[in-house]
Chains A and B, each alone.
Chain A
Amino acid sequence: MDTDRERHRARETAFYLFTQQSLPACKPVLTPGWVIAIFLFMGVIFIPVGLISLRASHCVVEIVDRYDIDCVPEPSRMDKVSYIQDDSIPKNCSHFMKPVPPITWKVSCISPYAEPYTFSSAVITRHYTAVKTATEYVKSRSDKQLLDGQKYHDTSSCQPVESNNNRPIVPCGLIAWSLFNDTFEFIREGAELKVNRKNIAWKSDRGHKFGKNVYPFNFQNGTLIGGGKLNPEIPLSDQEDLIVWMRTSALPSFRKLYGRIEEDLDVDDVVVVNLMNNYNTYSFGGKKKLVLSTSSWLGGKNDFLGHACVFVGCSSLTLAIIFMLLHVKYRRPYGDMSYLPWNRKSFSG
Chain B
Amino acid sequence: MARGRIRAKLRKSHLYSFCLFRSSGSGGQSIGGPGFSRTVYCNEPQVLNQKPYRSNIISTTKYNFFSFLPKALYEQFHRVANLYFLGCAIASLTPLSPFSPVSMIAPLAFVVGLSMAKEGLEDWRRFMQDREVNSRKVHVHNEEGGFGKKTWEDVRVGDVVKVEKDQFFPADLLLLSSNYEDGICYVETMNLDGETNLKAKKALEATLGLDEDDNFNNFKGIIKCEDPNPSLYTFVGNLEYEGKVYAIDPTQILLRDSKLRNTEFVYGVVIFTGHDSKVMQNSTRSPSKRSRVEKKMDYIIYVLFSVLLVISLISSFGFAVEIKYSMPVWWFMRPQDADEYYSPKKPVISGLSHMVTALMLYGYLIPISLYVSIEVVKVLQATFINQDIQMYDEDTGIPAQARTSNLNEELGQVDTILSDKTGTLTCNQMDFLKCSIAGIPYGVSPSEVELAAAQQMANDQEDQGELKTLVASKKEKAHKSPIKGFNFEDNRLMNGNWLKEPTAARIMLFCQILAVCHTAIPELNEETGNYTYEAESPDEGSFLVAARELGFEFFQRTQSSVFVREKYTASGKPIEREYKILNVLEFTSKRKRMTVIVRDEEGQILLLCKGADSIIFDRLSKDGKLYLEDTTRHLNDYGEAGLRTLALAYRKLEESEYTAWNNEFQKAKTSIGADRDAMLENAADMMERDLFLVGATAVEDKLQKGVPQCIDKLAQAGLKLWVLTGDKMETAINIGFACSLLRQGMKQICITESGSEDKQEVKEDILKQITNGLEMIKQENDPHAAFALIIDGKTLAYALEDDMKLKFLGLAVECASVICCRVSPKQKALVTRLVKQGTGKTTLAIGDGANDVGMIQEADIGVGISGVEGMQAVMASDFSVSQFRFLERLLVVHGHWCYKRIAQMICYFFYKNIAFGLTLFYFEAFTGFSGQSVYDDWYMLLFNVVLTSLPVMSLGVFEQDVSSEVCLEFPAVYQQGPRNLFFDWYRILGWMGNGLLCSLIIFFINIIILYDQAFRAEGQTADLAVLGTTMFTCIVWSLNCQIALTMSHFTWIQHVTIGGSIAAWYIFLLIYGALSPRISGDAYQILVEALAPAPIYWQTTLLATIACTLPYMAHIAYQRCFEPEDHHIIQEIKYYRKDVEDQHMWTRERSKARQKTKIGFTARVDAKIRQVRAKLNKKQ
Contacts and interface: CB of A to CB of B under 8 A. Distances in A.
A332 B1124 contact: yes
Nearest to B1134: A27
B972 A123 contact: no
Nearest to A178: B332
Contact of B927 (A131, A283, A305, A308): A131
Given A302-B1096, A305-B1100, A340-B1129, A32 B1121 contact: yes
Contacts of B1012: 127, 251, 253-255
Interface stretch (B156-164, B234-242, B707-715, B1080-1088): B1080-1088
Interface stretch (B28-36, B203-211, B817-825, B1108-1116): B1108-1116
Contacts of B1149: 337, 340
7 contacts: A21-B958, A24-B1051, A130-B332, A204-B1077, A295-B1014, A297-B1017, A316-B1110
A284 B326 contact: yes
Interface residues of A, number: 101
Given A21-B958, A136-B341, A147-B1077, 20 more contacts: A19-B389, A24-B1051, A30-B1116, A123-B1014, A133-B1024, A136-B342, A202-B1090, A205-B1084, A248-B1023, A250-B1007, A293-B1019, A308-B1107, A323-B1117, A337-B1133, A339-B1124, A340-B1152, A341-B1126, A342-B1154, A342-B1155, A343-B1152
A124 B1102 CA distance: 29
Nearest to A319: B1114
Contact of A204 (B98, B1048, B1084, B1114): B1084
A23 to B, nearest CB: 4
Contacts of A166: none
B1095 A297 contact: yes
A35 B1014 CA distance: 37
Nearest to A340: B1129
B1013 A300 contact: yes
A319 B1115 CA distance: 11
Contacts of A138: 930, 932, 1024
A250 B934 contact: yes
Nearest to B1019: A123
Interface string B624-650: 000000000000000000000000000
Contact of A131 (B342, B928, B1121): B928
Nearest to B1011: A251
A125 B1116 CA distance: 46
Contacts of A159: 339
Given A22-B964, A280-B331, A131 B1077 contact: no
A80 to B, nearest CB: 12
Interface string A8-47: 0000000000011111111111111001001000100010
Contact of B1016 (A205, A255, A299): A299
Contacts of A302: 1009, 1013, 1096
A46 B931 CA distance: 36
B427 interface: no
Given A160-B338, A295-B1017, A131 B322 contact: yes
A174 B927 contact: no
Contacts of B329: 283-285
A135 interface: yes
B1082 A247 contact: yes
Interface in B261-308: none
Given A204-B1089, A252-B927, A336 B1024 contact: no
- Listed from nearest, the 8 A-B pairs whose CB atoms lie closest are A300-B1013, A178-B332, A123-B1019, A160-B337, A335-B1132, A300-B1014, A204-B1085, A134-B930
Nearest to B934: A250
Contacts of A132: 332
B1082 to A, nearest CB: 7
A184 interface: no
B1135 interface: yes
A102 B1153 CA distance: 73
A246 B1063 CA distance: 30
A256 B1021 contact: yes
Interface string B992-1013: 0000000000000101111111
Interface string B969-996: 0001001000000000000000000000
A134 B1023 CA distance: 14
A164 interface: no
A347 interface: no
**Dominant SS among interface residues on chain B:** helix
Interface of B: 98, 322, 326, 329-334, 337-339, 341-342, 357, 384, 387-390, 897, 923, 926-928, 930-932, 934, 958, 960, 963-964, 972, 975, 1005, 1007-1028, 1048-1053, 1076-1078, 1081-1082, 1084-1085, 1089-1090, 1094-1096, 1099-1100, 1102-1103, 1106-1107, 1110, 1113-1114, 1116-1118, 1120-1122, 1124, 1126, 1129-1136, 1138, 1145, 1149, 1152-1155
- Considering residues A21, A147, A304, which has the most beta carbons from chain B within 10 angstroms of its beta carbon? A21
A277 to B, nearest CB: 16
Interface string A289-318: 000010111111110110011001001100
B1131 A29 contact: yes
A30 B1145 contact: no
Given A130-B332, A335-B1136, A305 B1096 contact: yes
A53 interface: yes
A25 B1050 contact: yes
Nearest to A14: B1052
Contact of A283 (B330, B1025, B1121, B1131): B330
Contacts of B1106: 42, 46, 312, 316
Contacts of B1114: 319
Nearest to A313: B1106
A209 interface: yes
A257 B1020 contact: yes
B920 to A, nearest CB: 12
B84 to A, nearest CB: 22
Contacts of A300: 1013-1015, 1019, 1021
A327 interface: yes
A302 B1005 CA distance: 12
Contact of B1022 (A38, A134, A250): A250
Given A250-B1028, A340-B1126, A30 B1117 contact: yes
A315 B1110 contact: yes
B387 A135 contact: no
A135 B1117 CA distance: 44
A333 to B, nearest CB: 9
B201 to A, nearest CB: 50
A177 interface: yes
A226 interface: yes
